[in-house]
Structure 1
Amino acid sequence: MRLSARNQIKGKVVGIEKGQTSGHVRIDGDGGIVISASMTHAAIDEFGGDAVAVIEASDVMVGTN
């Protein structure tokens, strides 16, 4: 995956919690950083294993390879 954003942290999905309408994914990144992102159930269902957190000024996007 290629993105123009430069603030990218590679890691592994270590936790997924689904709520009624959305959920949270936790990623254990480089250097022990743990990042949590809120997303839809449809997006969560595509996750597993490796992930990349892409951080913008006020948002965090998460992508998988």
Structure 2
Amino acid sequence: MSISAINVRNQFRGRVKEVIEGPVVSEVDVLTPAGLIVTSVITTRSAKELGLVVGKEVVALVKSTEVSIATL
């Protein structure tokens, strides 16, 4: 599956693992087939409009101008 109408090259297909709903924003964890978790913070309104529930198949679209890395 590819979202070609959006200019986002980093796309991770997966299933919703967890939704932590807040009054304004919600945290959504997406589990990829490789076992990685991609986490997104979106408005709670958007999460509800998208019908995000555990197990729903989704695509996480990642577009960023900066990625920071720290050593452990």
Q: TM-score, normalization: structure 2? A: 0.70
Measured after TM superposition, the shift of residue 21 of structure 1 is: 1.5
Which position in structure 2 is the counterpart of 1:41? 44
State the identity %.
19
Ranges in structure 2 where 5+ consecutive residues have no aligned partner = 67-72
Q: How many residues align?
A: 59
TM normalised by structure 1 equals 0.76
State the SS of the aligned residue for 1:31.
coil
**Higher strand fraction: Structure 1 or Structure 2?**
1
Name which one, 1 or 2, has greater alpha-carbon Rg: 2
The structure 2 residue matched to 1:53, chosen from 60, 65, 69, is: 60
Runs of 4+ deviating beyond 4 Å: none
